[in-house]
Chains A and B, each alone.
Chain A
């Protein structure tokens, strides 16, 4: 059966926003899972603050639209509270790489089993166009009239060195979202998925869309950390040059014990398929 994942809310993203592609891809995958036998209530979603976060209002699943920067600790807490939840979380680049950076490093370290999308449009869009940690040098806006001076963060490299067990990057097209979410759901552990998402108002595709290529189709070995690092080095987020190449797909994937299995109390909850809320004392 299919569940209606819609809410009565009419999306307020800009017409043509790439967030619609992400929304459609995510809903399709969840609906497929439900068709295969999962229940709607097995899923939960979390978002932060920013344009990405509106997705919470458009997907009729339980969860929380939490504070700016705090998606990851909230997810960890939800998995501690009920380790059986199928949790999908959403952040923006400001949410994740600026306000929430400390949690990002720790999320890779904890390796709790949930899937995490970072809608990276390289700009604070909802506050009308300021630079984020992944904005390229020279980008000008009202708060940076002299142009952005700092080198952008390479989030893929960051996640690899932090020990993330699943590191991927896709472009904000529905099919790519579907592909990567399905792969991430097969992965037991924390899945970091960055979505290159043009902001059609404040930071449109500066030509990087044309420079992308598939890691899967070019025979990348996603179990090899060194080659994942090399692939991550190919794109530095600092604008597009003639010879820029942007790999998309899964850079690295290697399962290790998940957070929920490190503690006997949580393992027990997993075994019994319950959360703390089900325990009567």
Chain B
């Protein structure tokens, strides 16, 4: 079974909280839940909605057909009616608060009201008011559709940003600097909330330029340091990214992208910053670019980013996007965390090429040697990275059809290929690129799925493997929205051989 609920309302009406509360209650009952957020760059008013899809089997994305619309305002119905499945329902309630609907849904889905009470306690504010609203809804609802779910796995519910934060804490993060920018912002609050109990410090500085330079300052004293931003902020940081390259500063950078160019579509999703992550910063220096596809991989790859930065004195970029950063996923696995020793001591660092005393040099021989040392380090990183899982293989491993992708498209692809004869290769390490990928895709009917207009992973594959994915084998979405698995299923089906 699969059931999709859309919660719509004005900004500030609380459709987001409502959907996450319902999501965590469903998880406790044994369901797999996926919740995405669609919101405008607005504080009050406008139209925001969340889409929650749940199932008794694993599910990692939404579909396009809605079973139930929860309408917190008048416009939700008119805006989303066309997405409602035949026989689908709409619940609206004039002047009702968001928790009224929580009460009704809990009754309808046979969820324990006590769980709702606990959720309200966790929210920490408006407890009495929320309880009153929820009770009213719970008592009013007459329809129930109870289903026993027999799932023995222990399920967790998290979004990508939370995964990044958890991974950083588990990796021994000391210092996090940031300047607020959607969709990376709530890593600041996740970490700030936990800074005292975990003995780390979170600081918001005057600009992204200040952020990365302060991070370089703290990293060279030996602190495990991380920063986070989105594309525009990352652009500002890139001169200093180059500094981490020459001075060999260990720095973890979280880049949560959104559609550009420029301010673009500030609160929507896109994968158009892969080229940026790979090529930013002037000069030639080694780096890592890691691309998690769900919150659990976000945790794992964050720990790898700390491991590689500390071991090699390099920058590592964890590339995510709004869809991964802010959607809630269900996981039944425990992330594999690699621990990393602190490797840095204060010494003489320099933005210039240096001699053995850490002084600026213009000596040709010395320059050549420094450059070659960086190249050598790049090769050592490649070798070390091979000890890790650099890409995932899903689906029919012997299929002649191969879907390739990276990052947040993972969920929709996994859900879309369930009934298709397809092998799915999800690249986790973009830099250094796993050489074994070539063998997996060579001679196959390759289909590229990407949330970008130019198919940037396709360019990486061409560069690293020599295999060019033809234009008509690409499924690209670039309207700021994530893929929906039923639509994607049809698109992939159309490309199969």
Residues of A within 8 A of B350 (CB): 56, 64-65
Q: Name the CB-closest residue of A to B344.
A: A277
Q: Is B416 positioned at the interface, with any CB of A under 8 Å from its CB?
A: no
Q: Which of B198-226 contact A (CB under 8 A)?
A: 199-201, 203, 205-207, 209-211, 213-225
Residues of A within 8 A of B195 (CB): 265
Which bracket fits the contact residues of B?
35 or more
Q: Which of A56, A64, A102 is within 8 Å of B247, CB to CB?
A: A64
Q: Is A163 positioned at the interface, with any CB of B under 8 Å from its CB?
A: no
Q: Are B222 and A82 in touch, CB under 8 angstroms?
A: yes
Residues of B within 8 A of A49 (CB): 351
* Complex-state Cα separation, A280 to B223, whole angstroms: 11
Considering residues B195, B203, B209, B213, which has the most beta carbons from chain A within 10 angstroms of its beta carbon? B213
* Complex-state Cα separation, A60 to B215, whole angstroms: 23
Q: When A and B form their complex, what is the total count of cross-chain residue pairs whose Cβ atoms lie within 8 Å?
A: 145
Q: Is A106 positioned at the interface, with any CB of B under 8 Å from its CB?
A: yes
Q: Is B154 positioned at the interface, with any CB of A under 8 Å from its CB?
A: no
Q: Which of A59-86 contact B (CB under 8 A)?
A: 60-67, 70, 73-82, 85
Q: Is A26 positioned at the interface, with any CB of B under 8 Å from its CB?
A: no
Q: Is A266 positioned at the interface, with any CB of B under 8 Å from its CB?
A: yes
Q: Are A70 and B209 in touch, CB under 8 angstroms?
A: yes
Q: Name the CB-closest residue of B to A69.
A: B209
Considering residues A56, A66, A75, A77, which has the most beta carbons from chain B within 10 angstroms of its beta carbon? A77
* Complex-state Cα separation, A57 to B200, whole angstroms: 33
Q: Which of B175, B210, B342, B360 is within 8 Å of A106, CB to CB?
A: B210
Q: Is B345 positioned at the interface, with any CB of A under 8 Å from its CB?
A: yes
Q: Which of B139-197 contact A (CB under 8 A)?
A: 172, 174-175, 177, 195-196
Q: Name the CB-closest residue of B to A274.
A: B222
Knowing A81-B225, A85-B221, A103-B206, the reply to whether A64 touches B196 (Cβ < 8 A) is: no
Residues of B within 8 A of A85 (CB): 221, 346
Q: Are B217 and A73 in touch, CB under 8 angstroms?
A: yes
* Complex-state Cα separation, A76 to B212, whole angstroms: 11
A196 CB to nearest chain B CB (Å): 26
Q: Is B243 positioned at the interface, with any CB of A under 8 Å from its CB?
A: yes
Q: Are B213 and A276 in touch, CB under 8 angstroms?
A: no
A81 CB to nearest chain B CB (Å): 3
Q: Name the CB-closest residue of A to B214.
A: A77
Q: Name the CB-closest residue of B to A279.
A: B174
Q: Are B201 and A265 in touch, CB under 8 angstroms?
A: yes
Residues of A within 8 A of B214 (CB): 73-74, 76-77, 80
* Complex-state Cα separation, A7 to B357, whole angstroms: 8
Q: Is B240 positioned at the interface, with any CB of A under 8 Å from its CB?
A: yes
Provide a sorted-by-A list of 14 A–B residue pairs whose CB atoms are within 8 angstroms. A57-B360, A60-B357, A62-B346, A73-B209, A76-B214, A77-B213, A77-B215, A77-B225, A78-B220, A80-B218, A81-B217, A102-B209, A102-B210, A103-B206
Smallest CB-CB A-B distances: 3 pairs: A277-B222, A77-B217, A81-B221
| Chain A residues near B (Cβ < 8 Å) | 7-9, 41, 44, 46, 49, 54, 56-57, 60-67, 70, 73-82, 85, 102-103, 106, 263-266, 268, 275-281
